[in-house]
């Protein structure tokens, strides 16, 4: 069993989650790199045969939380969102771009839960373990995240959308 190879295979998923979590590409790749490096030093804590993906996401969550603490930026994203080139090559790229902005505006705790459930399709139990929170907290954060996201996307009439995109 070649775990190093599996680690490489998981990079795209780590990047996708990090990109949605952090809000910009460079920052996301920094997070992934730190996560991989951290994973190497924490390897003795990984039990062979258990879910490597879940373990890596736990490592990533810890790295992310430490970075936020270090920079004291709980929610660094204001109106000036970084460039989101290459996101959404689909026809309705503008909608997806707005969605990305909306995701970025969710409180960090809620965003993590929403993304693990939605992108990684983790079970609620897995999310609870990954983030180190009770399952009840997972459910309430998920509920609040979805409701906020819905409200933000509903509030985007075509006119305001044009204004936001510039």
Partner 1 sequence: MSELPVNEADLQAYADGRLTAERRALVEAWLATRPEEAERVAAYQRLGKEVRTAYEAMLSEPVPERLAQAATRRFAWRQAAAIAGWIALGVALGAPAGWQLRPERPVAQAAPEGTLIARRAAVAHATYSPEVRHPVEVGADDEQHLVNWLSKRLGIKVRAPKLDEAGMSLVGGRLLPGENGPVAQFMYQSQNGKRLTLYVRTEASHNRETAFRYARENNVGVFYWIDREVGYACASADLSKDELLRVANLVYKQLES
d(CA 140, CA 125): 14
Pick from 114, 116, 128, 131: which binds partner 1 (CB under 8 A)? 114
88 Ramachandran zone, left/alpha/beta (phi>0; psi -120 to 50): left
**Could you give the angle at which helices 135-154 and 108-118 cross, rounded to 10 degrees?**
90
The CB-of-70 to partner 1 minimum distance in angstroms stands at: 11
d(CA 81, CA 77): 6
Contact between 11 and partner 1 per CB under 8 A: yes
Q: Which stretch binds partner 1 (CB under 8 A): 2-10, 57-65, 67-75, 156-164?
A: 2-10
49 Ramachandran zone, left/alpha/beta (phi>0; psi -120 to 50): left
Pick from 24, 27, 67, 100: which binds partner 1 (CB under 8 A)? 100
Binding site for partner 1 (CB under 8 A): 2-4, 7-8, 11-13, 15-16, 19-20, 29, 32-33, 36-37, 40-44, 46, 86-90, 95-97, 99-100, 103, 114-115, 117-119, 123-124, 139-140, 142-143, 146-147, 149-150, 153-154
């Amino acid at each position: 069993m070649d775990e190093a190879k599996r680690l490489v295979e998981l990079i795209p998923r780590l990047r996708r989650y990090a990109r949605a979590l952090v809000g910009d590409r460079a920052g996301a790749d920094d997070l992934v790199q730190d996560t991989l490096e951290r994973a190497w030093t924490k390897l003795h804590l990984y039990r062979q045969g258990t879910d490597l993906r879940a373990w890596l996401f736990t490592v990533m969550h810890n790295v992310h939380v430490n970075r936020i603490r270090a920079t004291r930026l709980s929610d660094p994203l204001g109106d000036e969102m970084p460039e989101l080139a290459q996101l959404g090559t689909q026809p309705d790229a503008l909608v997806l771009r707005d969605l990305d902005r909306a995701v970025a505006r969710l409180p960090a705790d809620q965003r993590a839960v929403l993304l693990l459930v939605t992108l990684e399709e983790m079970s609620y139990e897995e999310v609870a373990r990954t983030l180190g929170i009770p399952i009840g907290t997972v459910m309430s954060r998920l509920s609040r995240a979805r409701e906020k996201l819905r409200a933000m996307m509903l509030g985007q009439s075509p006119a305001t959308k044009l204004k936001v995109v510039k």
